[in-house]
Amino acid sequence: MAGGRGNFASRLGFILAAAGSAIGLGNIWKFPYLAGANGGAVFLIVYLVFVFTIGISVMLAEFAIGRAGERNPVGAIKHLKGGAWIGVGYMGVVAGFAILSFYSVVGGWTIAYAVKTATGLLNLSDAKAFGGAFGAFVAAPVEPIVYHFAFMALTVAVVARGVERGIERACRVLMPMLFVIVIILCVRSLTLPGAMAGVKFFLNPDFSKLTGAMVTAALGQAFFSLSLGMGAMITLGSYLSKQTHLPGSALWVTSLDTVIAVLAGFMVLPAVFAFGFDPGAGPGLTFITLPAVFAKMPWGAGFGTLFFVLLAVAALTSAISLLEVVVAFLIDEKGVARPKAAIGAGAVIFLLGVPSSLSLGVWGDYKLFGKGFFDLMDYAASNVMLPLGGVLIAVFVGWVVTPRIMREAEREDGHLFKLAPAWHAICRYVAPVGVAWVLFSGL
């Protein structure tokens, strides 16, 4: 096999690893509550447009940069061009710290909810009580931080030992299971009395809800959900064999990620309306709604526990790819040993997550720009750093290293990439103009 790094044995292996990074809390926790808070169907439409134009193009650009550069994002860009462009790689490392800090807090919630669902959470008599239960849980000073620690420790343990492959193998079984449970939950949610109001909300656009803030949220979510703009896909691409067809892989990963997000919408939003929750409830929406759905199912506690365990695994594979960006950088560029890099970075990220968790409870009154620490981290990373990083990657490919990267994307036994001109045009014009427009109108 060509290429000097530990390559993926097969194209399927690579697609699964990239999908493992992309599919996670972004799909099941974040997408439904963002859609709920931003007008439902209009959000879905704008999101899909971003995903299949700018998103898929930036994903292909990251794969190609990673494979051509054969290094972590900073090293790959240095190798291909250097100069100020290296800053894009550094920003990715910073974004990795920021995102993983609050991501791990939510990852902790999934573990906590697996435990709680198994130990009687569903006995609450009234659906509304699940809102109170979630609110009390996240507002507590200690318990969510203990789970945040547990989630971060798991992530560090995997990355420190470099055993991602073992996790990947397990995911070949676990992720299809998650998919099946999500489908079952969609069916249950859609057949609840009053669910159709949620379907209407999710599919019937009300264009008066089309605002600048909503478009910013949709763009940020496209980058967040596809793991773009901070080098995660560059890092994965660097482990890729020269035989793999990059455009096909990008299409697969983008499509899988989108299918899961849309299904998560059908799993959560109909139930939100059926139970009379507020679709704009924010980050708690999935954690409030799903227990209410489980409570209305036979074997609900078993299903619910299994669901949260699988969601925790999906979150773990995404967290691994986030930490891997930071760790690959420390190993390749700073010569740090892998275990030390993983433990050190993990400790800093854990500490950075503590104020995020506290900002949902005892530190709830401390606000900057009207946002608590959790929201501020999420906003800065998802809505600013990722789109900015993503657009710089597009410009890098569209204007700076074009011939080299175009060749990289086409390299496959005689196969031409027919959409190459469209890809080039999106990287060159559409992505920069689109993202600049959204960022400026958002701020």
- Chain contacts with ligand PHE (rule: CB under 6 A): 21-22, 24-27, 99, 224-225, 227, 230, 232, 318, 321-322
Q: Which long-range contacts (CB under 8 A, 24 or more apart) does 400-405 make?
A: 400/81, 400/85, 401/65, 401/68, 401/80, 401/81, 404/68, 404/80, 405/61, 405/64, 405/65, 405/68, 405/80
Toward ligand PHE, which CB reaches closer, 155 or 305? 155
- Could you tell me the sign of the dihedral formed by the alpha carbons of 407, 412, 416, 419, in that order? negative
For residue 78, how many C-alpha atoms fall within 13 Å in the half-sphere facing its CB? 11
Please, what is the minimum distance in Å from the beta carbon of residue 142 to ligand PHE? 26
**314 and 178 Cβ atoms separated by less than 8 Å:** yes
Toward ligand PHE, which CB reaches closer, 90 or 363? 90
Nearest to 74 by CA among 340, 330, 346: 330
For 22, 181, 440, the CA distances from 436, given in Å and listed in that order, are 24, 39, 6
Toward ligand PHE, which CB reaches closer, 301 or 349? 349
Please, what is the minimum distance in Å from the beta carbon of residue 233 to ligand PHE? 8
Toward ligand PHE, which CB reaches closer, 27 or 249? 27
Please, what is the minimum distance in Å from the beta carbon of residue 302 to ligand PHE? 25
Please, what is the minimum distance in Å from the beta carbon of residue 325 to ligand PHE? 7
Please, what is the minimum distance in Å from the beta carbon of residue 5 to ligand PHE? 19
Q: Among all residues, whose Cβ is closest to ligand PHE?
A: 26
Toward ligand PHE, which CB reaches closer, 24 or 89? 24
Toward ligand PHE, which CB reaches closer, 324 or 332? 324
End-to-end alpha carbon distance in the chain: 47
- Could you tell me the sign of the dihedral formed by the alpha carbons of 274, 278, 283, 287, in that order? negative
- Could you tell me the sign of the dihedral formed by the alpha carbons of 53, 56, 59, 65, in that order? negative
